[in-house]
Structure 1
Amino acid sequence: MPFFGRPAIVRPYFGYRNTGRLVLAARALRARAPNWDRETTFAKLRTLFRHFASHEVAELDVGIEARSETGRTVEARCKTDREGFCHFDLALGAGWPLPERTSWETVTLRWINREGPQQVAGYVLAPGREQALGVVSDIDDTIMETGAHDLLSNWRRVLAQMPGERLPVPGAAALFESLGGGVAGQTRPATRRPFFYVSSSPWNLFDYLLAFKQAHGLPQGPMMLRDWGFDRATLGGKGHGRHKAAAVGKLVEFYEGMRFALIGDSTQADALAWAEAVQAHPDSIAGVFIRKAPGAAIGDEEQAALEAIDRAGVPLWIGENYDVEADFLRSLGFSDHGETQTVVEAARSDPAASPQVQAREP
């Protein structure tokens, strides 16, 4: 056990569960909790550098304990890999019904560092037992203006701007809030319809993206990010699409009977990913939203993918702003009893950017 540097901490990422399985990833690091409330350029750069230049802890023994409302307990252990990751996939057995409405539940992770036994709470999304529709969204240029098609400009923003300073896509927060159908739960509220985020961003950006969504009023949900390497598989456009399509496939298999609305944009091969998901799981995709991002034209390959989605009979919306028509929302399964009009009105609003705030867990 090293006695130099910061003590090992475990950072749990958001998990999710059904009645039989619970999935959660965590990472062991030597790092301090990020403080995004910085004013000077030097302080911002120092904070961002410390956050992105992670010091992973390999071979750390990490335990997890989950407890159901019926009193059942499940435990498991994991050794972190060379990048510091632990991937838990717990078999829950009987006694783990889903809640009446979508909610966040907690698990406990435990480990030992040089200061002694440690523990931290992890958060797990449990969709409501009657919930038939979920939302899967990209991040870059879908909810956050990044110019992801220009890698250099994108990383310039990441390395120079705090999460609350980043610009949200106009209308995204209002649309997503309405798509979520309101919140449930007093202690840890969640949107009625569960949200999941898939992105080609590295796991080092988890807390940054968490803070961004908190600052701009966007729903929280499990994020499926990537462990980056500087190779073609990570940086190539087709790698982005494969990662996103695979993530959707896992969710479809995990939540049998739930249908998903997929939201993306004209950068990073979202159209290709969503078309692949539609081809593999046509009955599980309720609809596809594609935002035409500034400076990122829809190419021939993306256009062919969008045409394939349309031929499959899956409702498809394409636009520059989140100005979504009522007929399209009805095709996704929104009711005509006020809910459709609420989403339409929200999509046509363009709220001012929210003030910067510190991120907090659900």
Structure 2
Amino acid sequence: MPLIPPRDIRVQPYFGFRNAQRLIVDARVLRGSPPKFDLSGGWRTFRTMLRLYNSHEVAEHPVTLEVEAPDGSRQSHELVSGKEGYCHFEIDLAPARPLPESSAWEAVTFRWSDARGDHCVAGHVLAPGADDAAGVISDIDDTIVETGVTGGVRSVLRNWRRLFATMPSAREPVSGAELFYEALGGGVDEKGDEAGDAMPASRRPFFYVSSSPWNLYPYLVAYMRSRGMPIGPLRLRDWGFDRRTFGKSSHGSHKTDAIDAILSLYPERRFALVGDDSQGDLTAYAKVLERHPAQVSGIFIRKVGEPFTPEEEAAKQAVEATGVPLYIGQSWDEGHEFLAEAGLGGSEDAKTVVEATEQEGGE
């Protein structure tokens, strides 16, 4: 019987980010071709989604990250993929690379070899502008895209079609999210757009922190692009289908750890935190505020779940006691009005989230 040749090995880059001294970017070594989200038809959609979740990881495979400096010199860093195929690069930039005047995406290269030969793929790293514009850290599920998963495993079963059989462009957005996020992002930097950048950055650097699995990374990026949402690095996590996946405590610890890492990389920058109450975001953000009181400019929570738990009520009171502006509402339509009242009416005339929240907070 003839041997069936193995499927092609590919590297899936994930969006990275850097400051002047340090660069963080991840990738994953997989078998099979990238997903295509332009297919139509229920069965083809289901097969595409099934392939996303049922990924075929390649462990112990060497991957080289190549970073080019402005003077043309290159740094190379090699890692071997872990048991789930992940490579996490966290490197010192030598010499240091000053941040650009305004936020911009920069290219890096991933290289690997297999039986077919040598290969490379481009990755993208966000360099927030040296102008110190306020940043935004946002949740994803039920914050920008409706999932209906607010009650654990049973909710997943009730919403299986939405989660497993809908293409990104057909997913239902959270009401008001597009306008609200346009205001938060401040629009696309005109200089970067005029320069013909393949990925012009929003004026305010955006980061997304979610407990969704890394398998959904290409799907979530495709959704954001289809809705004109600000694009930014995604900090997701690896998980399997068990009860621990859906616990609020596990969601919260992942988010606080990821947000801590972002804030630590940009200690002089302030961030607005945006989320919902379906996965303990308010409690997680209150902990972040306690640890980084000078870096949180405002907290925005969409109310979608049951009444607040005692822990969430305590978190709400703790945030209010600090004087940091806290918005809690049913939709981002109301949140957009809140931003307008605070002086952040739209992308064309918005200045910074920091200015808006300082006005509201009376600093």
TM-score range, shorter chain: 0.7 to 0.9
Q: How does 1:26-41 map to 2 (within 5 A)?
A: 26-41=27-42
One-letter amino acid of the counterpart of residue 79, structure 1: V
2:257 to 246, 262, 269: 246
Contact preservation (8 Å) 1:288, 1:316: yes
Partner residue, 1:198: 209
Partner residue, 1:321: 331
Q: Distance in 2 between matches of 1:229 and 1:105?
A: 33
Residue 132 (structure 1) shift: 3.4
One-letter amino acid of the counterpart of residue 270, structure 2: R
Q: How does 1:149-168 map to 2 (within 5 A)?
A: 149=150, 150-168=155-173
Greater mean deviation of Cα atoms: 63-72 or 133-142: 63-72
> Are the structure 2 counterparts of residues 242 and 23 from structure 1 closer, same or farther at C-alpha, using a change threshold of 3 Å?
same
Query: Is 2:232 aligned against 1:221?
Result: yes
Q: How does 1:273-284 map to 2 (within 5 A)?
A: 273-284=284-295
Unaligned ranges ≥5, structure 1: 343-362
The one-character-per-residue Cα deviations of 1:196-217 (angstroms, maximum 9, x if unpaired) are 0011100000011011111111
Percentage of identical aligned residues? 45
Q: How does 1:1-362 map to 2 (within 5 A)?
A: 4-149=5-150, 150-184=155-189, 185=192, 186-187=196-197, 188-231=199-242, 233-293=244-304, 295-322=305-332, 323-324=334-335, 338-339=349-350
Q: Distance in 1 between matches of 2:170 and 2:65?
A: 35
Residue 234 (structure 1) shift: 3.1
Residue 156 (structure 1) shift: 3.7
Residue 325 (structure 1) shift: 6.8
Residue 333 (structure 1) shift: 8.9
Q: Distance in 2 between matches of 1:254 and 1:328?
A: 27
TM-score normalised to structure 1 length: 0.88
Q: Distance in 1 between matches of 2:41 and 2:215?
A: 22
- Secondary structure in 1 matching 2:318: helix
Q: Distance in 1 between matches of 2:262 and 2:106?
A: 18
TM-score normalised to structure 2 length: 0.88
> Are the structure 2 counterparts of residues 272 and 318 from structure 1 closer, same or farther at C-alpha, using a change threshold of 3 Å?
same
Contact preservation (8 Å) 2:133, 2:352: no
Q: Distance in 1 between matches of 2:264 and 2:174?
A: 30
Q: Distance in 1 between matches of 2:340 and 2:257?
A: 25
Q: How many residue pairs are counted as aligned between the two chains?
A: 339
Contact preservation (8 Å) 1:232, 1:239: no
One-letter amino acid of the counterpart of residue 43, structure 2: F
> Are the structure 2 counterparts of residues 41 and 314 from structure 1 closer, same or farther at C-alpha, using a change threshold of 3 Å?
same
Q: Distance in 1 between matches of 2:320 and 2:105?
A: 35
> Are the structure 2 counterparts of residues 41 and 327 from structure 1 closer, same or farther at C-alpha, using a change threshold of 3 Å?
closer
What RMSD, in angstroms, separates the aligned Cα atoms of the two structures?
Answer: 2.4
> Are the structure 2 counterparts of residues 226 and 332 from structure 1 closer, same or farther at C-alpha, using a change threshold of 3 Å?
farther
> Are the structure 2 counterparts of residues 332 and 133 from structure 1 closer, same or farther at C-alpha, using a change threshold of 3 Å?
farther
Q: Distance in 2 between matches of 1:248 and 1:333?
A: 24
Q: Distance in 1 between matches of 2:169 and 2:84?
A: 28
Contact preservation (8 Å) 1:197, 1:222: yes
Unaligned ranges ≥5, structure 2: 354-363
Residue 154 (structure 1) shift: 4.2
Greater mean deviation of Cα atoms: 121-130 or 305-314: 305-314
> Are the structure 2 counterparts of residues 333 and 277 from structure 1 closer, same or farther at C-alpha, using a change threshold of 3 Å?
farther
Residue 179 (structure 1) shift: 1.3
The one-character-per-residue Cα deviations of 1:273-302 (angstroms, maximum 9, x if unpaired) are 101101111111111000112x54333321
Q: Distance in 2 between matches of 1:155 and 1:232?
A: 16
The one-character-per-residue Cα deviations of 1:248-292 (angstroms, maximum 9, x if unpaired) are 111110112001100001101111110110111111111100011
> Are the structure 2 counterparts of residues 325 and 160 from structure 1 closer, same or farther at C-alpha, using a change threshold of 3 Å?
closer
Contact preservation (8 Å) 1:265, 1:290: yes
- Secondary structure in 2 matching 1:307: helix
Q: Distance in 1 between matches of 2:59 and 2:132?
A: 39
Contact preservation (8 Å) 2:63, 2:78: yes
Residue 311 (structure 1) shift: 1.0
Residue 160 (structure 1) shift: 1.2
Q: Distance in 1 between matches of 2:316 and 2:169?
A: 33
- Secondary structure in 2 matching 1:11: strand
Q: Distance in 1 between matches of 2:292 and 2:24?
A: 21
One-letter amino acid of the counterpart of residue 313, structure 1: G
Q: Distance in 2 between matches of 1:325 and 1:49?
A: 36
One-letter amino acid of the counterpart of residue 177, structure 1: E
